[in-house]
Every structure is written in C-alpha cells, then in structure tokens.
Amino acid sequence: MMLRYWGLTALLLGMVLPAAAETLDINLSGDAAEISYIRPLNNDGLEAGGGLLHHDDDGDIFAADFHLVDRPEPGRNALVLGIGGKLPVVMDDLRDADGAALAIGGKLRWTLPEYNRIGVAGSAYYAPSATSVSDVDGYQEYRIQGEFRLLEEADVYVGYRGIELSYDGDEFGADRDFEDGVYAGFNIDF
C-alpha cells in the first residue's frame, strides 16, 4: 500500500514540475517517512514543490507548496527566507477523515558565520477553518532542525516536527497531533 503512495507521489510530481529538480528531501521518524521535491520556477525567487508524509498509524498528507524566497547574501546563502503557502491534502486513517487546507506561513535557514557547514532551519504554517475543506477544520505545522553540510550538494539533519489537525463536527473527535516527534534525514541539491 505504501509503495502505491510513493509511486503516485513520484508520478504527480513528475507531471506537475519540470524535469530538472532543485532539491530532493527525504526524512524518517519512528512511525513516519517523508519525501519532498522543490524546484525554482524562475530567477526572481519563486519556487514550488510537493511531497508526501506517510505515517504508519495515522495516514497520509500530500502537500504542494509555493514560496517567494530571498537570499540576502547571494552566493553565500548564509540566510534564506521564504514566505508563501502550503496546500496539505489529509487522509487521516485513524479518524477516517479526509480534507484539505490552504495554510500560509514561511521558512528560513541560517548558516552559522564561523562554521559554514552548520545551519539551523525552521518553518511554520497555519490554516484556519475559513481555508479548510471537507472534514478538516484547521491545520498547523511547525518544524525546526539542525543541519550539517556533508557534501557540497548534500545536507544531513535532525529535527523536530509537529502537525496538528482540527476537525469539522463532533463525529471525528477533538483536535489531535497527526505527527509529533523527532526525525532525521538528508537533502540533495541537483
């Protein structure tokens, strides 16, 4: 079943985004695996991406995102800032609920000045009930991670991720954490 979702994700990303990729990111936690793909759309800082988070017990979240990204120190990438949105499509197996939300938020990455192989990154997104559809009545996501540049075009990292879902109506129960915990992974630029 999981293989079907990975294949579907790869197919959708291949159809939506041009053939050349900017960043491939893969991470794992005790119960979850995530793969995402990000590509610049032009030289003005626009980028788009998509991915899949599969949780063994809770289900899947397919997400598409779009950001305007700025690098105040071009060439060095000491600070990377992005503001934009994310469209998570949730298939919650635990609550037998499906839905989507349009979340706004941003991301940043900062490389330590004296240790150019070490960086800190984070992101946060929020969707109220006004931008949520079907069974989902709200979405919140935050991440923070420490990164190490292992190779010229590859980072390894360890981080903490929290994803909280709100539901429409009493039939699905109270708000809950879809994913909450430590993860580790790598990203490759090509």
Domain 41-47+65-189, classified CATH 3.50.50.100, yes or no: no
Residue 2: what pLDDT? 46
Q: How far is CA 101 from CA 4, 62, 110, in A?
A: 23, 11, 28
- DSSP conformation letters of 4-62: HHHHHHHHHHHHHS-SS-SEEEEEE-SSEEEEEEEEE-STTSEEEEEEEEEETTTEEEE
pLDDT at 172: 65
As averages over each run of 10 residues, the pLDDT of the chain (190 residues) reads 48 48 90 95 90 92 95 76 96 85 96 89 96 91 96 95 85 78 95
What pLDDT was estimated at residue 20? 46
pLDDT at position 170:
64
Joined together, the tokens standing for residue 131 give 């931008």
pTM over 0.75: yes
